[in-house]
Amino acid sequence: MKILKTLVAGIALAALAAGSAAAQTALKIGHGHSENHSFHQAMTKFSEALEREAPGAFEVTIYPQAQLGSEREMQEQLTTGTLEMTVTGVLAIYEPKITLLELPYLFRDREHILKAQQSEPTQELFATLPDKGIRLVGFLENGFRHITNNTRAINSPADVVGLKIRTPENLAQIETFKTLGASPTPMPFSELYAALRQGVVDGQENPLQGINDGKLFEVQKHLTLTGHIYNSAYVIVSENFFQGLQPEEQEAIETALKEATDWQFAYITERDGELLESLKQAGMEVTEPDQDAFRTATEPAYDAFYQQFGDDARNFVEGIRGL
* pLDDT attached to residue 300: 96
* pLDDT for 258: 97
Residue 200 scores a pLDDT above 60: yes
Q: For position 321, what pLDDT does the model report? A: 96
- Residue 199 CA to chain centroid, in angstroms? 26
Residue type, 130: P
E strand residue ranges, 110-226: 134-144, 146-149, 164-167, 183-186, 203-206, 222-224
Residue-wise pLDDT for 47-96, tens only, equals 999 999 999 999 999 999 999 999 999 999 999 999 999 999 889 889 99
Smallest Cα–Cα separation from 261: which of 111, 42, 29, 30? 42
Average pLDDT over residues 39-48: 98
Torsion of CA 299, 301, 306, 312, to 10 degrees: -80
Mean per-residue pLDDT over the chain, rounded: 92
Q: Mean pLDDT across the stretch 144-171?
A: 96
> Is residue 7 over pLDDT 60?
no
- Looking at domain 2-321, what is its CATH homologous superfamily? Bacterial extracellular solute-binding protein, family 7 (3.40.190.170)
pLDDT value at 109 more than 50: yes
Q: Which of 133, 105, 128, 117 is nearest to 290 (CA)?
A: 105
Better-predicted residue by pLDDT, 133 or 10: 133
